Structure 1
Amino acid sequence: MKVLLTGASGYVGSVLTRHLVAAGHLVTGLARGAASAARVEANGGTPVRGSLADLDLLRAAASGADAVIHAAIDFADPDLGTTERLALEALLSGLDASRQLVYTSTGLVYPPGGERPAREEDPVDEHTIQPHKIAGERQVLDNGVVPVHVIRAGLVHGHNGPGPVRNFLDTARESGKAVYIGDGANRISAVHVADLADLYVRLLAKRPAERIFNAATAEPVSVRDIAGAVARNTGTAACSITADQARDELEPHNAFALALDSVIDSSRATQVLGWQPTAVSLLADIAEGSYTAD
C-alpha cells in the first residue's frame, strides 16, 4: 500500500515510518527541510519536500496514495488551528471513498478525572486545552466521502523521545527534585511509541467499521509513581509540591502535565484489531529503559 505520512520525520512519525515499511508499505513522508528529508530516507521512506501550508502539494501527494496518516503537529505555529484545517481539507480532497485517512488525536479530548476510563463513545471535553484536535476530529469524521479512523493516544513514551517524560527528567536534573502535586494520585494512561505504531499498521490492514480508537496500555500510572521513576533515573528525591508552587516554579507545560488526570480505555483496539501492547511500561522505561541513555 502507498501511504502518505505527515510528520514523518518527527518522534512518532519516524517510528511509524519504520513500522509501515516493515509491514510492506511504501511510505512517502512530508519533510520540511533537508535534515527532515534525510531522517525520512534513513527510516526507509521517500521524502516529499513541503509543509502543511503547501496545500497543492498535499492534495497531489494524497491523490497518489492509498492511505494518508496525519501525524504532523506544530505547537509553535500561532495559527495551528487554521493550518491544520486547511491541510486536512487539501488531504481529503485528494482522496476518495476507496482510500483511507487516519487522524492522530489525543486522549486529552476527554474530560479529566472521570469515574471510569474514557471510552470512544464518551463525549469530548469542549473546554480541552487542545481544541484544535476536537476540531480536526470532527472535520475528518464528518467529511462524508473518505473513510476515516481516529487514534486518541495516551502519553507517548519510548525510544528516549521528546515530550512530557523528557521534560520531567530535565526539570528534575535542573531542580534536584522530582515533583508531583499534592498526593500525586492523579493518573495518566500511556502508550509506548512502538505499540502506537503497531496500532496504525493494524488499522490500515483491517479498515474496521469502528472509527475511533483509544491507544494506551491497560494500567494507568499515578503521577506520584512517575515522579518516583524520575527520581531513580536522575538520582534525585521525589517530593510533593502544591498547585500554587507548580504554577509559580515550573514551566506552564510542566505544571499542566503534573496536573493531568487522563485515563482511557483501549479495549476496543484489543477486541476489534487484536492490538496488544507489548513494549516496556512507562515506569520501567523511565527508571531503567530508554530514558537512562542520557
Structure 2
Amino acid sequence: MRVFVTGATGFVGSAVVQELLGAGHQVLGLARSEANARALTAAGAAVHPGSLDDLDSLRRGAAAAEGVIHTAFNHDFAAYAAAAETDRRAIEALGDALAGSDRPLVVTSGLAGLSTDGRPGTEDDIPTPGFRLSEEAGMAQVARGVRASVIRLAASVHDHGDHGFVPTLIDIARAKGVAAYVGEGLNRWPAVHRLDAARLYRLVLEQGRAGGRYHGVADEGVPLRELAAIIGRHLQLPVVSKSVEEAPEHFGWMARFVGLDLPATSRRTQQELGWQPTGPSLLAELEQGHYFEG
C-alpha cells in the first residue's frame, strides 16, 4: 500500500515510517523543510513537500495515496487551542481527498477528556464534547465514505529521542532543584513504547474498522509519584509534593497536565488487532538512565 504519513520525521512518525517500510508498504512522507526531506529520503520514503497549514498540500498528498496516517501535531502546549484547531482543519483536508473512497485514514488522538470516574478508560468511552477536536474530526470523516479510525496514544510515548511530557518533567526538576508531583501523586499516566505504538499504527491502517477507536497503551497507569521518585533519584534531588495552588508556578504550562488521572486499558485493541506490546515499561526505560544524559 502507498501510505501518506504526516509528521513523518517526528518522534512517533519516523518510527511509523520504518514500521511501514519494513512491512513492505511504500511511504510518501510530508516534509516542511529540506532537512526533513533529506531524512525521509535517507529512510527510504518518498517526499511530499508541505505542512499542516498548507491544506492544499495535504489534499494532494492524500489523493496520491491508498491510505493516510496522520501523526503530525504542533506540540506548543502553551497555545494548545490554536494547535488543536490547526489539527482539526488538517484532518478535514485529508478527508476531502479520501471522501467516497473507503480508503483508510488513521488519526492520532489522546486519552484526556474521558469520563471514567477513576477506572481505566476503554475504547468505548467517548471524550467530553469539544475536548478532543482531532477525534471528533476523524470520526466525522466516516460519514463521508472514509475508513477513518482513531488511535488514542498514551500520555507518554517513550524511547530514545523522547521530547514529550517526561523529559519536560525532568527539565523542570533540574531547573527547580526538586522532583515534584501534585497532591498525593496518585494520579496515573498511561505509557507505551514508541516501537509498539508504530506497530499499532500499521495494524490499524491494515485492519482497522471505520469509526474504530484504538488505544496505544501498554502501561495502564504509572503514578506520578513514582515518576517523580525515579527522577529525583537519578538527578539526586529531593522529591516533594506541590499543592494544586502551587502547581502553576512550579510546572508552568505543564500544570494543566501533571495532575491529570488518565488510566486506560488497551485490552480490546489487543484482542481485535492481535497487537501485543513488547517494549520495556516506562519505569524500566527510565531506570536505563538515558533520559538523564546530557
Q: TM-score surpassing 0.5?
A: yes
Counterpart of 1:151? 151
Q: Which amino acid aligns with 2:43?
A: N
Q: Which amino acid aligns with 2:223?
A: S
Greater Cα shift, 74-83 or 35-44: 74-83
Say if 1:273 and 1:289 are closer, same or farther in 2 by CA, change over 3 A: farther
Please tell me whether residue 267 in structure 1 is matched to residue 267 in structure 2. yes
Counterpart of 2:186? 185
Greater Cα shift, 282-291 or 177-186: 282-291
Counterpart of 2:20? 20
State the shift of 1:27 in Å.
0.8
SS at match of 1:201: helix
Counterpart of 2:202? 201
- Measure, in 1, the Cα distance between the counterparts of 2:52 and 2:26: 21
RMSD: 2.1
- Measure, in 2, the Cα distance between the counterparts of 1:208 and 1:85: 21
C-alpha offsets along residues 203-254 of structure 1, whole Å, 9 cap, x if unaligned?
223234671111111541100001112123322222212111212222122x
Tell me if the contact between 2:69 and 2:106 (Cα under 8 Å) persists in the aligned partners: yes
State the shift of 1:102 in Å.
0.4
Q: Which amino acid aligns with 1:197?
A: A
Counterpart of 2:90? 87
Greater Cα shift, 65-74 or 45-54: 45-54
- Measure, in 2, the Cα distance between the counterparts of 1:29 and 1:237: 44
Counterpart of 1:105? 109
- Measure, in 1, the Cα distance between the counterparts of 2:206 and 2:186: 38
Say if 1:287 and 1:29 are closer, same or farther in 2 by CA, change over 3 A: same
- Measure, in 2, the Cα distance between the counterparts of 1:134 and 1:203: 15
Counterpart of 2:30? 30
Say if 1:233 and 1:37 are closer, same or farther in 2 by CA, change over 3 A: farther
Counterpart of 1:256? 256
SS at match of 2:149: strand
State the shift of 1:182 in Å.
1.5
State the shift of 1:39 in Å.
2.4
C-alpha offsets along residues 157-203 of structure 1, whole Å, 9 cap, x if unaligned?
21231110110111111222111112111111111111110101112
C-alpha offsets along residues 71-121 of structure 1, whole Å, 9 cap, x if unaligned?
11114477434433332232122224342100011111313x623111121
Identity percentage of aligned residues: 36
Please tell me whether residue 165 in structure 1 is matched to residue 166 in structure 2. yes
Tell me if the contact between 2:88 and 2:134 (Cα under 8 Å) persists in the aligned partners: no
TM-score normalized by the length of structure 2: 0.90
- Measure, in 1, the Cα distance between the counterparts of 2:217 and 2:102: 29
- Measure, in 2, the Cα distance between the counterparts of 1:57 and 1:228: 45
SS at match of 2:144: coil
State the shift of 1:289 in Å.
4.8
What stretches of structure 2 of length at least 5 have no aligned partner?
none
- Measure, in 2, the Cα distance between the counterparts of 1:209 and 1:85: 18
- Measure, in 2, the Cα distance between the counterparts of 1:171 and 1:86: 33
Tell me if the contact between 1:14 and 1:39 (Cα under 8 Å) persists in the aligned partners: no
Say if 1:140 and 1:236 are closer, same or farther in 2 by CA, change over 3 A: farther
TM-score normalized by the length of structure 1: 0.90
- Measure, in 2, the Cα distance between the counterparts of 1:42 and 1:289: 29
Say if 1:246 and 1:39 are closer, same or farther in 2 by CA, change over 3 A: same
Tell me if the contact between 2:111 and 2:153 (Cα under 8 Å) persists in the aligned partners: yes
State the shift of 1:24 in Å.
1.2
- Measure, in 1, the Cα distance between the counterparts of 2:231 and 2:252: 17
- Measure, in 1, the Cα distance between the counterparts of 2:260 and 2:32: 32
SS at match of 1:188: strand
What stretches of structure 1 of length at least 5 have no aligned partner?
none
Tell me if the contact between 1:28 and 1:46 (Cα under 8 Å) persists in the aligned partners: yes
Tell me if the contact between 1:190 and 1:282 (Cα under 8 Å) persists in the aligned partners: yes
- Measure, in 2, the Cα distance between the counterparts of 1:289 and 1:28: 35
